[in-house]
Amino acid sequence: MGNVTILVGAQWGDEGKGKWIDILAKDSDIVARYQGGNNAGHTLYVDGEKVVLHQIPSGIFQDKTCALTAGVVVNPSQLVDEIQKVAHHTKLTPSNLWLSARAHVITPWHIYLDGKREAESDQPIGTTKRGIGPTYAEKANRTGLRLGDYVDEARRKQWLEMMTKRFPEFSANLKNQAADWEAFHGAASALGPYVVDAEAKLRADVKAGKRLLLEGAQGALLDINHGTYPFVTSSSTAAGGAFSSLGLSPRYIDKIYGVAKAYLTRVGEGPFPTELFDDTGKKMAEKGHEFGATTGRPRRCGWLDGVALRYCVDANGFDGIILNKMDILSDFDELKIAVAYEHPELGEIKDFPWSFEVLKDCKPIYKTVKGWSGDIPNSGSMDQLPQEALDYIKEIEQIIDAPVSHVGTGVNRQDALFR
């Protein structure tokens, strides 16, 4: 049996992964983030205090060793701020926070490009404008700045000279965003001691039998290869992305969990067949406090999409689905789950289409189940749920052909039900 667990968002992000990383980290030795950047916001409640982590893995509050690996992109000055922000909860040192020398660095230039392209595009993606896409693009172009080079002043200077020669706008950006560049350079000495060959250390620990929990950001439907392209993020959010980020053999994998809300949300642009524009959608948004942890943007809300969730199960090999925010669905007279789509030209579609052009014209075909009223249990066993809630879970399991292994019932780490 393997000793590595992967946790993946099973929708369009914002599923509540941070809380479950925090819970599962208790039984792990190391927690490693394998992709994304500070466009992700993982919200936790620690001793009653709300903490939003953007780059540090969510297992840090269980006093575990944490790592950012090669597939991650790092905003240095914001990471320094985040390390300082959590200092009163837990002290981070080079012994318990490893930053991969292979991870690529987000610079003020990349943030500028992100905002510029989004503003000028005829078809904006709805990015967080954090510089994520341009940083990954620079990585693919083989002209990016890796963290190991960033913390070396001479190599950082070489990169700046190269960029100045390549891009006429770059010199102007250095002047126009002088304060941001100053903070960028200032963070290098603070992060230097944390920068290591994180992948080699992780592989050695896994071989030695230590338990590793891999934390994904965003969600599988935003995967650059398998998501609703082009309305996706710039990294491989699916479980397979973890292997390439760590240079880790799949043979070590024990469990892969997908986190999904009991309904569905999406931030930014892109097709969303089950989106609601009525009072029911407003009720979901208000009860669920559906605003982005990173941007504050309101999330679009809709019924659970069983077609999309089944696709994520197949594409990731989930051993179990963690169904979050079941408490939000209390006091709805009826609940709906999309079991197929109806397309004006293609007719009934049972499989998630590869083309967003097809998906945007799809209307959901629903299965309706009876809702429940009143509060549900906060902790304990899933068997304690009202019968209607159990029936809802059973319908989901049949539609997606995968078990629901855990249920989330609130924001705190103890608000969890287990099979």
Per-residue pLDDT tens digits for 276-289: 999 999 999 999 99
Residue entry with tokens 């979901």: 284
On whether both 241 and 303 belong to a single domain, the answer is: no
408 marked as binding residue? yes
Active-site residue, selected from the candidate residues 54, 104, 129, 139: 139
On whether both 322 and 384 belong to a single domain, the answer is: yes
Per-residue pLDDT tens digits for 180-201: 999 999 999 999 999 999 999 9
Active-site residue, selected from the candidate residues 42, 64, 104, 406: 42
Per-residue pLDDT tens digits for 52-82: 889 998 888 898 999 999 999 999 999 999 9
On whether both 8 and 123 belong to a single domain, the answer is: no
| Known catalytic membership, residue 42 | yes
Please report, for the domain that includes residue 70, its CATH number: 3.40.440.10
On whether both 379 and 331 belong to a single domain, the answer is: yes
296 marked as binding residue? yes
42 marked as binding residue? yes
Which domain covers residue 67, as residue numbers?
4-101+195-257
On whether both 118 and 136 belong to a single domain, the answer is: yes
The pLDDT of residue 122 is above 80? no
How sure is the predictor about 1, in pLDDT bands with cuts at 50, 70 and 90? Answer: low
Last residue of one domain, picked from the residues 136, 161, 191:
191
On whether both 175 and 212 belong to a single domain, the answer is: no
- With DSSP H G I counted as helix, E B as strand and the rest as coil, what are the percentages for the chain, rounded to 5? 40, 25, 40
Q: How far apart are CA 100 and CA 69, in angstroms?
A: 5
Q: Which residues pair with 74 in a beta bridge?
A: 105
Please report, for the domain that includes residue 294, its CATH number: 3.90.170.10
On whether both 346 and 360 belong to a single domain, the answer is: yes
Q: How far apart are CA 263 and CA 261, in angstroms?
A: 5
Buried/exposed code over 206-219 (b: 16+ C-beta within 10 A; e: otherwise): beeeebbbbbbbbb
On whether both 321 and 252 belong to a single domain, the answer is: no
| Known catalytic membership, residue 14 | yes
Question: Structure pTM?
Answer: 0.94
How sure is the predictor about 294, in pLDDT bands with cuts at 50, 70 and 90? Answer: low
Last residue of one domain, picked from the residues 191, 222, 238:
191
19 marked as binding residue? yes
142 marked as binding residue? yes
On whether both 163 and 241 belong to a single domain, the answer is: no
302 marked as binding residue? no
SS3 (DSSP) at 294: coil
| Residue 90, amino acid | T
Q: How far apart are CA 113 and CA 179, in angstroms?
A: 17
Per-residue pLDDT tens digits for 381-394: 999 999 999 999 99
On whether both 34 and 170 belong to a single domain, the answer is: no
The pLDDT of residue 293 is above 70? no
Into how many domains does the chain fold?
Answer: 3
Cα distance from N-terminal residue to C-terminal residue, the chain: 21
274 marked as binding residue? no
| Known catalytic membership, residue 54 | no
Which percentage of the chain shows pLDDT scores above 90?
A: 84
Give Cβ neighbours of residue 327 (< 8 Å, ≥ 6 apart): 375, 376, 408, 409, 410, 415
CB distance 74 to 273 below 8 Å? no
Give the distance, in angstroms, between the CA of residue 84 and the centroid of all CA atoms in the same chain: 22
Residue entry with tokens 């318990």: 96
Per-residue pLDDT tens digits for 344-390: 999 999 999 999 999 999 999 999 999 999 999 999 999 999 999 99
69 marked as binding residue? no
Please report, for the domain that includes residue 152, its CATH number: 1.10.300.10
Last residue of one domain, picked from the residues 167, 191, 215:
191
On whether both 126 and 232 belong to a single domain, the answer is: no
38 marked as binding residue? no
CB distance 406 to 398 below 8 Å? no
On whether both 404 and 346 belong to a single domain, the answer is: yes
* Per-residue confidence (pLDDT) for residue 287, from 0 to 100: 95
